[in-house]
Amino acid sequence: MDLAELHATAERERARRKAIRVLCCTSSGCQASRSLELFHQLEAAVTATGQDEAVEVASVGCMGFCGQGPMVRVEPADLLFERVRPEQAAEIIAALAGEPCSVERGDPNHPFFARQVHVVRRNGGFIDPERIEEYIAAGGYEALYRVLHDFTPAEVIQEITRSGLRGRGGAGYPTGLKWATVAKSPGERKFVVCNGDEGDPGAFMDRSILESDPHLVLEGMAIAAYAVGAHEGYIFVRGEYPLAIQRLTRAINQARKLGLLGSQIFETAFDFKVEIRVGAGAFVCGEETALIASIEGRRSQPRPRPPYPAEKGLWGFPTLINNVETFANIAPIIEHGADWYASIGTEKSTGTKVFALTGKVRNTGLIEVPMGMTLREIVEDLGGGSPDGTPVKAVQTGGPSGGCIPARLFDTPVDYESLAAAGSIMGSGGMVVMDAHTSMVQIAQFYMAFCMDESCGKCVPCRVGTVQMYRLLSKVVAGAATPADLEQLEQLCRLVRETSLCGLGQSAPNPVLSTLRYFREEYEALLREEAAAGANGTP
Amino acid sequence: MAARTLTIDGRLVSARAGESILEAARDAGIHIPTLCYLEGLSEMGACRLCLVEVTGSNRLLPACLTPVSEGMEVHTATERLREHRRAIVELLFAERNHVCAVCVASGNCELQNLAIRVGMTHVRYDYLNPVCAVDISHPQFGIDHNRCVLCARCVRACDEVEGVHTWDIAGRGVNARVITDLGVPWGEAESCTSCGKCLLACPTGAIFRRGTSVAELERDPKRIALIVASRQERW
Amino acid sequence: MSRITFATVWFGGCSGCHMSLLDLDTWLLDLASMVELVYGPLADRKTFPDGVDLTLVEGAIANLEHLELAREIRRKTRVLVALGDCAVTGNVTALRNLAGDPSGLLQQIYLERGDPPLAVPEAPGIVPRLIERVTPLHAVVPVDHFLPGCPPSAPRIRATLEALLAGAEPPEIGRFG
């Protein structure tokens, strides 16, 4: 494969396309609402009406408006259909010929779509993720070609550094700096690892990217491998994402066949092979040292850092670990340049971020917005506010490691620093909206139950501290806790945050701390005043 | 080997480059509580008892795994650290069923000693009282999970010193348990050589010699370090 | 010099802590000169009096009577000491928590394994009901001092009492077990 062949492939794909394309989302969310059946019904309807010449039905990835799924888009007319049932397939196909149609119509100019900026989700809902030709026709693998031919590894790192991209897994570590560290770490072998162990409750950004555009992630990994001097890569995907695994597997095979992965990529000396590792269900595998242990075939428990994986990672070799969304940003940055990327978002948090917007909000689904957009814009403009008029009370970001931000702080811009200052974190992109009926204590209890179940058990404060915190929260919820219990809860928050071994434990108290910070009155209203109760004794 | 000078609790201490804060402190006679650490085994940083404050770092660092550096300023017993240590020991006592009064290791138990060392007068947390198994399927030894603190010293001694890896850990969180082979009763674990190093390494009465009664368990965990050092001896 | 009022209480324990107290032998005569024993297994009194200066509690909280009396004692006592491991940790008494619900335990003991099977004793007002879970004393009332040990040795008990009687902080750290 060389550039001419790549372009020829794109050309063939464009020539193959029919005048009208009916795009049906077959991502996990829409599949759960029978979109696979819908897809087959659409194909059948096209054939039945003799429109095979002019109309094709394509299975595509996520369009984002998951709450309104299954979604069907018709190109080039830019018609959008929502909540489509398989029985309505014929009606949609008939509508192409001008027949009246009662299927719920979506508005492509709805703020939910119009306010988004698509960088990593640019192909989502437009291409068939199971056909590499479609990715190539959308300009795919050109960035990799350019990097291999026109860039030195140092120049790639420089470009990524200048773009200001920061880790999308949640912590926001500068990606360029991480790459530079791996590149400079001495080692006869190096690895690139993609962390696809997305586990936060309510988060499905990475699943959507992997299901909708797997090649974008593979291309980003290959560019990263070239930059840091690695020839082997692993994608760690959680076992609960079978469709993502299936599509990734197919994507890897297709890319290998075309010489876009494997040996002598684009007829250069650069080799890069990628393997998938499937997680077995432990949330802690999202922690990079635990993830490494799992890939190595050991029990996935984190180990203290330093040494960081950039120095000592897989089997002791320098290893670059980035999240799915981080890798998905790489090819666009190379294509359009660091300055373009840095012009999106804010000064310190450049680019876009994908969020899974869920909870008590009218429009739920995946959104990709420029960094710096305020929570208010996201909740009210894109999300459409409360579905039933109950005032929105707070937004939870960052999952079990994050916190709740109250409505009065909704003018907070969504960037790494502002969210941290508000007592939460960017996190991987879960965004759960809560209304006045939501008990913040129960929210804290829910997340603590999650951390308790997912604690690996290696270090004492996380293993036992989360259980004790959960019991205290349950006591508060049951109305049986005393002020001394609340005091003990806060003491445990400090302990677990300051002494736990890894990020899971260190951040496990965050949902409690942030709800205590903004909604302390909800805790206090549930307390029982009883002087006689020792509440486990004198402190 | 190059030497480093640092201060620990205000005292000037010299250490070898590459040595951990814990080793430097112990050489200088400064006691830092530990539980999962055992000389001769790899460090794991799991019990969090040896956390110390180092000026310039906003995180607490495990002394067993943090190498000394020139001019480093270490504080091992601040009010915050003392409070945390006491809480961690209390959490351990609350986690399983540590009934010293009926334990083989009473009087020869690191957990029991830690309670005194960290000033644990009582446990402020709810006792979880989990139902734990006792496995006496092995002809010589037994494991009482009621007394296990998951320090993984048995796992490491078996893996690193005996080279067998009969022990490992299964399960998550408070449901984690040390297991033999792939979760079979110890007596059926074919890889076990019955060497007894796990017994030596165990800090509590979890692993015991069968037939020992309350407070009768005698064992010296320092022998693990002796075995390891003897092997490394070069004449 | 007026003697302070002193009480000892026996909850869910084996009485070993009281035995250890009795092991103080002749020092008990010194103690008697400093305190007036107003309640306990060693005194003949049915109700816990008001205004007790110092109370030692042996045993864990295992039944309703323990629970209610513990609260009453706390109200009526200036300085409350948990004496021995059962009061401090629950100890052997709390091992029954592993068997779960006490009613199942009673079934097992009196019916399934009784030889011959007897009835589960039930005498309202006479035999107090077991509470769901055995707890240490401090889980139900605030405790001022902890004196661990199974039992605490006589010298330890003496050292603690001497300090408290002198108005000083007792040497609190002791070994469990």
What is the extent of the structural domain holding B173? 84-224
Q: Considering the domain boundaries, does residue B109 fall inside one?
A: yes
Counting Cβ atoms within 10 Å, is residue A364 exposed (0-12), middle (13-18) or buried (19+)? buried
Which positions in chain C touch B119 (Cβ < 8 Å)? 172-173
pLDDT band, residue A532 (cuts 50/70/90):
very low
CATH of domain A16-114: 3.40.30.10
pLDDT at A399 over 50: yes
Given the DSSP bridges, would you call strands C77-83 and A55-60 parallel, antiparallel or unpaired? unpaired
Of the candidates C174, C126, C166, which has an alpha carbon nearest to the alpha carbon of residue C17?
A: C174
Task: State the pLDDT confidence band at B120, using cuts at 50, 70 and 90.
Answer: very high
Mean model confidence pLDDT for chain A = 95
The residue-averaged pLDDT of A277-295 equals 95
The pLDDT, as a whole number, for residue C122 is 86
Q: So what's the pLDDT on residue A535? A: 42
Q: Tens digit of pLDDT for each residue in A91-141?
A: 999 988 888 889 999 999 999 999 999 999 999 999 999 999 999 999 999
Helix then strand count (H, E) for chain C reads 6, 7
Residue C171 · residue C163 · CB < 8 Å: yes
Q: Which position has the higher pLDDT, A539 or A429?
A: A429
**A274 forms bridges with which residues in the sheet?**
A233
> Shortest Cα distance from C61 to chain A (angstroms)?
13
Pair (B18, B66) in one structural domain: yes
Instruction: Tell me how far apart the alpha carbons of residues A245 and A235 are, in angstroms, rounded to a whole number.
Output: 10
Looking at the complex, report in whole angstroms how far the Cα of residue A480 sits from the nearest Cα belonging to chain B. Answer: 14
Q: Could you tell me if C144 lies within 8 Å of chain A, comparing CB atoms? A: yes
In percent, how much of chain C has pLDDT > 70?
99
**A244 and A207 in contact (C-beta within 8 Å)?**
yes
Q: Which residue has the higher pLDDT, C8 or A95?
A: C8
**Is the model's pLDDT at B1 over the cut of 80?**
no
Tell me if C13 is assigned to some domain: yes
- Give per-residue pLDDT as tens, B109-118: 999 999 999 9
Domain's final residue, options B43, B76, B109 = B76
Domain count, chain C: 1
* Domain CATH number, residue B205: 3.30.70.20
Which chains have 3+ CB pairs within 8 A of C?
A, B
Characterize C59-96 residue by residue with b for buried, 16 or more Cβ atoms within 10 angstroms of its Cβ, and e for exposed.
bbbbbeebbebbeebbebbebbbbbbbbbbbbbbbbeb
Confidence of residue B6 (pLDDT cuts 50, 70, 90): very high
Q: Which residue reads 């010193």 in tokens?
A: B161
Q: Cβ–Cβ contacts within 10 Å for residue A178, how many?
A: 24
Which residues have C-beta within 8 Å of that of residue A481, sequence separation ≥ 6? A472, A475, A526, A527, A528, A535
pLDDT at residue A534, as a whole number: 47
Same domain? For B23 and B46 the reply is yes
Lowest mean pLDDT among A132-141, B226-235, C3-12, C51-60: B226-235
| Mean of the per-residue pLDDT values of chain C | 94
For residues B122 and C88, is the Cβ–Cβ distance under 8 A? yes
pLDDT tens profile A62-91: 999 999 999 999 999 999 999 999 999 999
CB contact A536 to C (< 8 Å): yes
Does B61 map to a domain? yes
Nearest CA in chain C to B126: C139
Contacts of A536 in chain C (CB under 8 A): 138-139
Confirm or reject contact between B214 and chain A (CB < 8 A).
no
In-domain check, residue C144: yes
What topology is assigned to A441-526 in CATH? de novo design (two linked rop proteins) (1.20.1440)
Domain spanning A352-435, CATH class: alpha beta
Chain C residue closest in CA terms to A532: C141
**B99, B123: one domain:** yes
Instruction: Determine the average pLDDT of the residues in C56-70.
Output: 97
Whole-number Å distance between alpha carbons of B194 and B196: 6
Would the pLDDT of C34 be above 60? Answer: yes
Sign of the four-CA dihedral A426, A431, A434, A440: negative
Predicted confidence at residue A539, as pLDDT, reads 31
Q: What is the ipTM of this complex?
A: 0.96
Q: Both B217 and B146 in a single domain?
A: yes
Give the chain A residue nearest B96 (alpha carbons).
A464
Q: Strand B207-209's sheet: what is its strand order? A: B134-135, B141-144, B207-209
* B53 shares a domain with B88: no
C16: left (phi over 0), alpha (psi -120 to 50) or beta: alpha
The predicted-structure confidence for B59-110, as pLDDT tens digits, reads as follows 999 999 999 999 999 999 999 999 999 999 999 999 999 999 999 999 999 9
* Partner-chain contact B126 A492, CB within 8 Å: no
pLDDT per position as a tens digit, A175-230: 999 999 999 999 999 999 999 999 998 899 999 999 999 999 999 999 999 999 99
Answer with the one of B50, B76, B102 that is the final residue of a domain: B76
CATH number for the domain formed by residue range(s) A139-342: 3.40.50.11540
Does residue B60 sit in the same domain as residue B91?
A: no
For the domain that residue C82 is a member of, what is the CATH number? 3.40.50.700
Tell me what percent of the residues of chain A surpass a pLDDT of 90: 94
Residue ranges of the alpha helices (H) in B46-191? 79-95, 110-117, 153-156
Please tell me the total count of domains within chain B. Answer: 2
Nearest to B100 among C82, C136, C177 (CB): C177
Q: CA separation (Å) from A538 to C9, C75, C89?
A: 20, 15, 14
Helix (H) or strand (E) holding A519: helix A510-526
Say if CB A125 and CB A212 are below 8 A apart: yes
Q: Are A534 and C144 a contacting pair at CB < 8 A?
A: no
Q: CB pairs below 8 Å between A and C: how many?
A: 24
